[in-house]
Amino acid sequence: MRATLQTLEQTIRQRRSTDPTTSYVAKLSARGRAKIAQKVGEEAVETVIAAMADDKAGVVGESADLLFHLMILLADLDLPFDAVLDELDRREGLSGIAEKAARPAD
């Protein structure tokens, strides 16, 4: 799984600076972080809608779109996807309730 995500991450990072007329990643990146974040939100909502409709194929497709757009956002922030995977590894074995309680108060 990490190999697929690493390949996608490399492709996204390479395409961010290419011609926006030939690359969706470059076009979206050129529109700025707010637009990228908006697309992440849209894909999250579409994933939820598919789940609520019990559309398993839809959830798979929308989840792929969500991950793709999230990875574009991470690249825009110069954050490697491995940072997200490392955080998930860190949380492994922790109760979600205990993990949330250990977070600093806002």
Where residue 47 sits, what CATH number does that domain have?
1.10.287.1080
pTM across the whole model: 0.86
Residues 6+ apart with CB under 8 A from 86: none
Say yes or no to pLDDT of 92 above 70.
yes
Question: What is 20-51 written as a DSSP string?
Answer: TTT-HHHHHHHT-HHHHHHHHHHHHHHHHHHH
pLDDT in tens, 35-77: 999 999 999 999 999 999 999 999 999 999 999 999 999 999 9
Domain count, the chain: 1
Domain-located, residue 85: no
Domain-located, residue 88: no
What is the separation, in whole angstroms, between the first and last Cα of the chain? 34
Structural domain that includes position 66: 2-79
Domain-located, residue 43: yes
Give the pLDDT score at 99: 66
Domain-located, residue 48: yes
Cβ atoms < 10 Å from Cβ of 18: 13
Domain-located, residue 96: no
